[in-house]
Amino acid sequence: MTVLARLESGEVTSRDLVETALRRIGHPQGQGRVAYRQVYRERALEAAERCDAIRAGGGGRALTGVPISFKDLFDVPGEVTLAGSTVLKSAQAATRYAAALERLLAQQAVLMGRTNMTEFAFSGLGLNPHYGTPLSPWRRQEERIAGGSTSGGAVSVAEGMALAALGSDTGGSVRIPATFCGLTGFKPTARRISTRGAFPLSWTLDCVGVIAPTVNCCRLLDGVLSAQEKEQKRAGELSRLRIGIPTCLVMEGLDPEVERTFAAALERLDQAGVRVEEVALQMLHEIPRHYRQGGLLAIEAYAAHRTLLERSRHEYDPRVAVRIETGRGRLAADYLDLLRQRQAFIERLERECSGFHLLAWPTVAVLPPRLNDLQDDEVYFSTNVIVLRNTSVANFLDRPALSIPLRGRHGAPVGFMLSAPAMDDRRLLDLGCALEPALRSEGA
C-alpha cells in the first residue's frame, strides 16, 4: 500500500508524515541542513493538524496532508525569494504565492519548506557555494553529487524529508537530480503550467516540474498543477505502443553502466510486447550548435540578470556569472533567428517521428560524478555539458519528458527518459504508469 493510500485510509495521519519528515530533516547524519534552505516546522505541523481534521470529518482532496518541499525560486508572501543566491537578500519580499504553490495549497498539500538549488538554477550539477551541495544517496561515502539544479528537492524526497518536491526544469533540472537520486522526474510542456512567481532563468525554456517516488505520484501532482487532475488514465495496450530510440547524440559517449542498464530495460519492454525500434534522427546532432554562446538560455538569462550583475557581480557564484554573461552583446536579430530555428527543429522532429508514440533514451549519459572531481573549472564545465546533453534535447524541442529510475549493478542510478509530442503530457504519464513495472526491475 502506498503512503497516499495509507493516508486516505487513516492508517497514517498527516501529522505522522510531517513529524517523520522533520525528524529526518534534523537527523545529524542526514542532509537536512544542506537539502533545505528554510524549514517550515511550526507552519507544517499546524497545517498537518488542519488536514487531519478535514480527513477525519470525511473531507479531503488528492493532496490533503501530503508533505511537499519546493525549490527556493518560488514566491511565498512575506518572504524574499533568493533562488539559491545571496545577492537577492535585500530584494523586496513577495506579495503572493507562486502560481504552482497556489495550486498545491488549494489541494491542501503541506509545504515543508524551501530546498537548496544551484544559484539561479543555472547548472545541471547542483553545486552551491553559499548553502552547500546536496549529495546523491548512492555511495554516499564517495560524495557523489545529487545533480541540479533542483538538488535539494531530490534529496528531500530520497531521504524521506518530503513525499514529493516541486522544482523547475530549463535544461534538465528536475530530471537530472531525480535520476542521480533514484527517483522519478517529470518535465511538462513548458506552456502547460504557469511559471508566475518562479524566478526566471529562460522565459522560453523554463518549466515547472516535479520529483516523486513513482510515475503515478508525478501524474497526480501534474494533474493538480495543470488543473487536469480529473482526467482518467488512457494508456491502452502496450502491444500497440511503438517507441523510437534515437541512434545518435543521446546514445553516444554513455558510461558503460548506463549503456548496459538502458539496454536491459529495452529488452524488458520488448518482452512486455512493446515495439522498440531504432530511429536515426541525425538532426539531433545539430542541436548542440544552437547552445554555443549559451543559445536562447544565455540571452534570456542575461536579460533577467544584467542590472543585478552590473551592481553585484562579486556576490554571484563565478561559475554561474560567467555562463550568464555569454548572453551579453547578442543582437536582437540573433535572438529572433534562434527562436525561428528552434521552431523549425520542432516541426522537423515531429515529421520524422510521426510513426512513434514516444521516444526514449537515457536521461543522463553518466553516473553521478564525485563532488571532489568538480573543483577544477575545466572539469566542472565539461561535466556540466555531458550531464545536461540528453535532458536539454527535450527542452529545446518543446516536448514533455518523464524520467523513470533504473537500478544498475550495485544500485547504480540510471534514468530511462520517455518523451512525447508537445501537449501530450497526460498521455505520456499514463503510458509511463503502464511501462513502469517492467522498467523498474532491478539490474543484476
Q: Residue 380 carries which side chain, given as an amino acid letter?
A: Y
Is residue 187 flagged as an active site residue?
A: no
C-alpha distances out from residue 35 to 54, 70, 185, Å: 30, 11, 17
Would you call 71 a catalytic residue per the annotation?
A: yes
Nearest alpha carbon to residue 173 among 129, 137, 206, 219: 206
Cα angle for residues 408, 409, 411 (degrees, 5° grid)? 70
Q: How far apart are CA 217 and CA 435, in angstroms?
A: 14
Catalytic residue among 71, 123, 136, 187: 71
Specify which residues 135 forms β-bridges with.
Answer: 145
The answer to whether residue 312 is catalytic is: no
What distance in Å separates the CA atoms of residue 421 and residue 400, rounded to the nearest whole number? 7
Q: Spot the catalytic one: 14, 85, 123, 149.
A: 149
Among residues 85, 136, 173, 392, which one is catalytic?
173
DSSP 3-state assignment of 209? Answer: strand
Separation between Cα atoms, residue 108 and residue 102, nearest integer Å: 10
Q: In the structure grid, which three cell numbers stand for residue 324, read together?
A: 550568464
Can you list the alpha helix ranges (DSSP code H) found in 273-400? 287-290, 295-312, 318-324, 332-352, 377-396
Cell 544584467 belongs to 306
- The β-bridge relationship of strands 413-419 and 358-362 is antiparallel
Q: Which residues neighbour 100 within 8 Å (Cβ) at sequence distance 6 or greater?
A: 70, 74, 166, 193, 194, 195, 197, 198, 208, 225
Q: Who's near 191: CB < 8 A, 6+ residues apart? A: 423
Catalytic positions, written as ranges = 71, 149, 173
